[in-house]
């Protein structure tokens, strides 16, 4: 009797809940698969939908690259999953991504996860559509014109030189990734939002910490309760908004003073007036926050990767310095006032180093879309209303145009691309109508960074090749501890 009671208890407390859980998972899978469009004969992509309601979001957040690599190995270049509360198809490969990026407004529309939309706001460039997107993009592009970039060069030189000097004077190792975020944050605050250097010094520590918290919680479950990721992200965002609002009010007071060069934030404010739109403090704050995120987080990630790859490849550093030396032998003072856009464009190998870094470690792993209608992609149906994620990092990984993919070879970009290669094999800045508006700014900034870094310093990675994670941009888990020393040209 006691044995039978024990068995019954075991079945009720252990086996039955497990069976019910497995049945729930199976029913969830069946329910989600029924979401396919019956008018389309093509099957859904292969894949799995994970746990009921949660899907596979937790696995993605916890495992990041490992999760994505495992999925690609198991299901190929197109697979289904369930992320951030929505059935999702993940897409990679030049031909597949081309159809998504060129299908904007016809097949798909941009739609980031609910947590991203809530934290960054609905009026940001990445979230608006149609005429609103066109006007906002046009306004921001003025801040990244050739003339504007020329004006930014001395500011970038000043900030990078000051940072490198600090690293050289440090007795202990430098944690490169946090330092890069501080550096790129200062540059973005000055150039994109027009903050005064003294004002940045006062608020820098608190603002950087707030941005860290906001960015860490951008991709989280859309549940706004105390201590949740979304709650913490919104709290940090509100602090950032308060500081930006102070700067906007100062700009409004100074608006009568004509300035030859106007930062991106001022361009957005001017555009709002020209289009006859009512001034919205909230909309401007959201746009400014997005500019800061895009303008410093991605460049900090890439600059960190540059230090890492160059530290691991001394031959590349030697070739890079050789190009810079040749330019100086022609009478160009690369660290002085003679540095301009034209000179930077002539640094071809330097540009290739940046391109190769972006190939292996694109700072943004991909982009989010939603299917406007059911359509076919490489033999599979993408149902209307499902989310579509196009992958940048995986597209680079599977591209046949890059032999020896694991090796850091900037020279591969010196040659002209073959006629058979697709321009969508290499998409670090995205593509189509939503290609990154700040890509030329990023190129100028990173080239100046390489000029200052390699002409002033040598460096050694203290931990060797680091483990890289994504959250939401690519970064080294150990923060890349590095020892810098003065570079001697003799």
CA distance 284 to 366: 26
Of 265, 296, 333, the closest CA to residue 441 belongs to: 296
Of 338, 318, 317, the closest CA to residue 327 belongs to: 338
Cα 353 to its chain centre, rounded Å, is 19
The string of pLDDT tens digits covering residues 205-264 is 888 889 889 988 888 878 888 888 899 999 999 999 998 888 888 877 776 555 556 677
Q: What is the pLDDT of residue 388?
A: 96
To 10 degrees, the CA torsion angle through 18, 79, 68, 32?
-30
The string of pLDDT tens digits covering residues 434-463 is 888 889 999 999 999 999 999 999 999 999
And the tokens for 176? Answer: 């490169």
And the tokens for 281? Answer: 């403090």
- The yes-or-no verdict on residue 186 having pLDDT over 70 is yes
Q: What is the pLDDT of residue 256?
A: 57
And the tokens for 245? Answer: 């609002």
Domain ranges of the chain: 1-34, 35-486
194: left (phi over 0), alpha (psi -120 to 50) or beta: left
Range with the poorest average pLDDT among 128-132, 147-151, 204-208, 425-429: 128-132
130: left (phi over 0), alpha (psi -120 to 50) or beta: left
β-pair partners for 81: 88
| Neighbouring residues of 132: CB distance < 8 A, sequence distance ≥ 6 | none
- What are the strands, taking DSSP E only, across 282-423? 366-371, 375-377, 380-382, 387-391
In this structure, what DSSP letter does residue 98 have? H
- The yes-or-no verdict on residue 55 having pLDDT over 80 is yes
The string of pLDDT tens digits covering residues 75-117 is 999 999 998 888 999 999 999 999 999 998 899 998 888 888 8
Predicted TM-score (pTM) of the model is 0.87
> Selecting from 3.30.450.20, 2.60.40.10, 3.40.47.10, 1.10.630.10, what CATH number does the domain 35-486 have?
1.10.630.10
| Neighbouring residues of 114: CB distance < 8 A, sequence distance ≥ 6 | 84, 85, 222
């Amino acid at each position: 009797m006691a044995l039978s009671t024990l068995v019954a208890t075991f079945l009720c407390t252990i086996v039955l809940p497990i069976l019910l859980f497995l049945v729930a998972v199976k029913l969830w899978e069946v329910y989600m698969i029924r979401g396919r469009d019956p008018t389309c004969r093509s099957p859904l992509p292969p894949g799995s939908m994970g746990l009921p309601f949660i899907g596979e979001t937790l696995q993605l957040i916890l495992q990041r690259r490992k999760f994505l690599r495992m999925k690609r190995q198991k299901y190929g270049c197109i697979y289904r999953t369930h992320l951030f509360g929505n059935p999702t198809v993940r897409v990679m490969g030049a031909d597949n991504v081309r159809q998504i990026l060129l299908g904007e407004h016809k097949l798909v529309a941009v739609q980031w996860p609910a947590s991203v939309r809530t934290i960054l706001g609905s009026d940001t460039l990445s979230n608006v559509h149609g005429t609103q997107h066109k006007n906002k993009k046009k306004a921001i592009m003025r801040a990244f014109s050739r003339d504007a970039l020329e004006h930014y060069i001395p500011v970038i030189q000043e900030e990078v030189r000051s940072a490198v000097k600090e690293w050289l004077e440090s007795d202990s190792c430098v944690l490169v990734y946090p330092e890069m975020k501080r550096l790129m944050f200062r540059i973005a605050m000055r150039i994109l939002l027009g903050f005064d250097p003294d004002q940045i010094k006062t608020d820098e520590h608190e603002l950087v910490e707030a941005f860290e918290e906001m960015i860490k919680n951008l991709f989280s479950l859309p549940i706004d309760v105390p201590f949740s990721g979304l709650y913490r992200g919104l709290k940090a965002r509100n602090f950032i908004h308060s500081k930006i609002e102070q700067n906007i009010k100062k700009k409004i007071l100074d608006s009568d003073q004509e300035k030859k060069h106007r930062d991106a934030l001022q361009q957005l404010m001017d555009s709002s007036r020209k289009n006859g739109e009512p001034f919205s403090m909230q909309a401007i704050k959201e746009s400014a926050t997005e500019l800061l995120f895009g303008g410093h987080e991605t460049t900090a990630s890439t600059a960190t990767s540059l230090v890492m790859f160059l530290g691991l490849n001394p031959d590349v550093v030697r070739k890079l310095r050789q190009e810079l030396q040749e330019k100086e032998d022609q009478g160009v003072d690369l660290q002085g006032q003679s540095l301009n856009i034209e000179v930077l464009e002539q640094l071809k190998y330097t540009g290739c180093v940046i391109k190769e870094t972006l190939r292996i470690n694109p700072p943004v792993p991909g982009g989010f879309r939603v299917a406007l209608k059911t359509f076919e992609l490489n033999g599979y149906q993408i149902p209307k209303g499902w989310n579509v994620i196009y992958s940048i990092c995986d597209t680079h990984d599977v591209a046949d145009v890059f032999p020896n993919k694991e090796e850091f070879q900037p020279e591969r970009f010196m040659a002209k691309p073959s006629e058979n290669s697709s321009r969508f094999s290499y998409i670090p800045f995205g593509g189509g109508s939503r290609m990154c508006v700040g890509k030329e700014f990023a190129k100028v900034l990173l080239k100046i960074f390489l000029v200052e870094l390699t002409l002033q310093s040598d460096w050694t990675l203290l931990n060797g090749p680091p483990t890289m994670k994504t959250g939401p941009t690519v970064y080294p888990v150990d923060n890349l501890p590095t020892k810098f020393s003065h570079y001697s040209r003799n």
